[in-house]
Amino acid sequence: MNDTALATIAATGFAVAFLHAAIPTHWLPFVLVGRARGWTTLRTLTMVAGAGLGHVALTSLLGLAIAWFGFRLDESLGHAFPLVTSGLLFAIAIYYGYRQWTGRGVCHHHPPGSEHAPSKACDSHEHDHGHTHWEEELKGTPLVKPDRGDWAAVSGLFVMLTLSPCEGFLPIYLSGVQFGWRGFVVLSLILALGAVGGMTLLTWLTLKGSERLRIERFEHYEAGLLAVLFVVLGVIAFVLQHEH
C-alpha cells in the first residue's frame, strides 16, 4: 500500500509541477526575449532549463524545510499525523477552489521593470480573463532593450523565475513526509522532471511554430485544477491514516 500511495502522490505531484510549468509566465518570456535578441533555439532552451533548475532548487530547499518540520511533527503526533496532513490538504484545496470561484486564480510573477504590480496581478479580473500580455509587459524592460547586453536579459529572466518558487508543489512535500527522505528525493526528482521538462518542451514547441498551443487557457483554470489535485492528496493522506 505504501509504494502505491507514494506512486500516486508522485503522479499527482508531476501533474501539479507540469500544470505550474505550463502557465505562460514560466516559458513565454523566454520565447519572446529569445526572438527579440535573435537567440538560437538551443540557446533559448538552455536559458529556460537553467532558470527552471534554479526555480526547482529554491522550491526543493523550501520543501526540505517542510519535510524536516514534518518529520519532527510526525514524531510528536504519531498515528494522528496523516489525519492532520489530510486536514491541511483539504484546507489548501478549499483555498484554491475559492480563488477559482472568485476569479482570482493563482498569483504569478512579472518581468523586472514592468508596470504590473504583483498584487494587481493576483486579484485583477483583467489578468485572469485575458492573456498574459507578455508582449506589452516586456516592452521597455532591460530584457529586450537593444542597448542592454544579453547579460541583462539572462540575469533578469533567471531571477524572475528562480525567486518565484512553485508554491503549489510545497504541500506535495508535506503529503510525502510519511515516506521519509526517500519520499523527499522522489518528489524532488518529480518536481524537476515536471517543471523543467514542461517549460523546455513548451518553449521548444512554441519556437517551432505551435503558436503557444493555446496553453494560456489553462491559466484561467489553474486554481480549480490544483484544488482537485489537493483533494486527491487529502484522500490519500486520510486512507494512510487508517492503514496505520
DSSP per position, 46-112: HHHHHHHHHHHHHHHHHHHHHHHHHHHHHHHHGGGHHHHHHHHHHHHHHHHHHHHHTT--------T
User: What integer pLDDT is reported at residue 135 of this predicted model?
Assistant: 56
User: What integer pLDDT is reported at residue 108 of this predicted model?
Assistant: 52
User: What integer pLDDT is reported at residue 32 of this predicted model?
Assistant: 85
DSSP per position, 6-57: HHHHHHHHHHHHHHHHHSGGGTHHHHHHHHHHT--HHHHHHHHHHHHHHHHH
User: What integer pLDDT is reported at residue 141 of this predicted model?
Assistant: 57
User: What integer pLDDT is reported at residue 118 of this predicted model?
Assistant: 44
Residues of the domain holding 57 = 2-243
User: What integer pLDDT is reported at residue 6 of this predicted model?
Assistant: 87
Q: How many domains does the chain have?
A: 1
CB burial of 134-158 (b: ≥16 within 10 Å; e: otherwise) equals: beebbeebbbbbeeeeeebbbebbb
| pLDDT tens, residue order, the chain (244 aa) | 577 888 989 999 999 999 888 888 788 888 888 888 888 999 999 999 999 999 999 999 999 999 999 888 888 877 777 788 888 889 988 988 888 888 766 665 555 544 444 444 454 444 443 344 555 655 555 555 555 567 777 888 888 888 878 888 998 998 888 888 999 999 999 999 999 999 999 999 888 875 555 555 556 677 778 888 888 888 887 776 655 5
User: What integer pLDDT is reported at residue 184 of this predicted model?
Assistant: 94
**Separation between Cα atoms, residue 51 and residue 58, nearest integer Å:** 11
User: What integer pLDDT is reported at residue 143 of this predicted model?
Assistant: 58
pTM of the predicted model, to two decimals? 0.78
Tell me the CA distances in angstroms from 11 to 5, 30, 58, 227, 241, one per residue in order.
10, 27, 21, 16, 20
